Amino acid sequence: MEHKSSDKHGLLLPGGGPLYRQLAATLQHQLEGGHYGANEPLPAERDLAASFRVSRDTVRKAIRLLEEQGVVYSDHGRGTFVAPESVRQMSRFLDSFTDDAHRRGGVPGQQILLLEPAVATMALASLLQTEPDAALVRLRRLRLLNGVPVGLQDSYLRLPPGATIVRRELEAKGSLYRLLIEDLGVRPCECLESLCAVAAQPDEAALLKVAAGSPLLACERVTLSDRRQPIEYCEMRYVPSYRYKTRVNKWSLG
């Protein structure tokens, strides 16, 4: 059940959940609806609190949320402002390839090259923090964007005991992460990535339809569950036209 089933604050349409999330969603809707232009100020926190009949702290939590996503930014003593479009569109999620493609307005596709049991090597065992020879599942896929091959993904998964991945269901859902969440109760929560450039190996080149030795973007990823247990190690290769976008926020110096 949700936090408050009925809404004592009539102004917040979006269904259940914490008040500050509802408020953040409402505000974001207003911004996307074009009620405000870039760098325009929002109403003051105290005013928002009054007009939505919530405490100022709840307003601040909602604004914090939007700020983390790059939707707004606050300046001490001046106000809170709408972030420029360019920033708003680059909030960095732990997105599946499928969702990312949709956000970019493309049509995602995939071709499953391999789906089979595997045993952990020493290296994999170390990355996934399991014993060597633990049972894993290997999943190798070719990813397509608008029908054109753009990437190769080679995953090693550590599933809950007894769980399996059914090829047909994966093909139906299109997204591995959706399948993990919805069918296996595994919730990816954050991941660590390391990127560099490599030369295409012959087999990679053939699948991606590029010349052997041509440059590819290589990305290694360890995905962690909400309890910080590694659940996936994935090696990826992307063609040069595929752009990996990220937003680095906060500043570490004083």
Partner DNA sequence: GAGTGGTCTAGACCACTCA
Partner DNA sequence: GAGTGGTCTAGACCACTCC
**Phi first, then psi: what are they for 163, rounded to 5°?**
-75, 145
- Cα separation, 95 vs 99, in Å, equals 6
CB 86 within 8 A of CB 125: no
Q: How many residues bind a second copy (CB under 8 A)?
A: 59
Cβ closest to DNA, residue 160 vs residue 213 = 160
CB 26 within 8 A of CB 37: no
Q: Which of 95, 169, 171, 203: binder of a second copy (CB under 8 A)?
A: 95
**Phi first, then psi: what are they for 3, rounded to 5°?**
-60, -50
All residues at 6 or more sequence positions from 90 whose CB lies less than 8 Å from its CB, including other chains:
70, 245, 246, 247
**Residue 244 makes contact with a second copy by CB under 8 A:** yes
Interacting residues with a second copy between 52 and 71 (CB under 8 A): 70
**Residue 82 makes contact with DNA by CB under 7 A:** no
Q: Which of 107, 119, 166, 192: binder of a second copy (CB under 8 A)?
A: 192
Q: Both tokens of residue 116?
A: 């089979």
Q: Which stretch binds a second copy (CB under 8 A): 5-13, 24-32, 133-141, 186-194?
A: 186-194
Q: Which of 132, 187, 202, 203: binder of a second copy (CB under 8 A)?
A: 187
Min dist. Cβ of residue 78 to DNA (A): 5
- In Å, how far are 10, 64, 137, 188 from 44, measured between CA atoms? 20, 14, 52, 36
Interface residues with a second copy (CB under 8 A) are 39, 70, 73, 75, 81, 83-84, 86-87, 90, 92-95, 99, 129, 177-178, 181, 187-199, 213-218, 222, 224, 226-228, 238-253
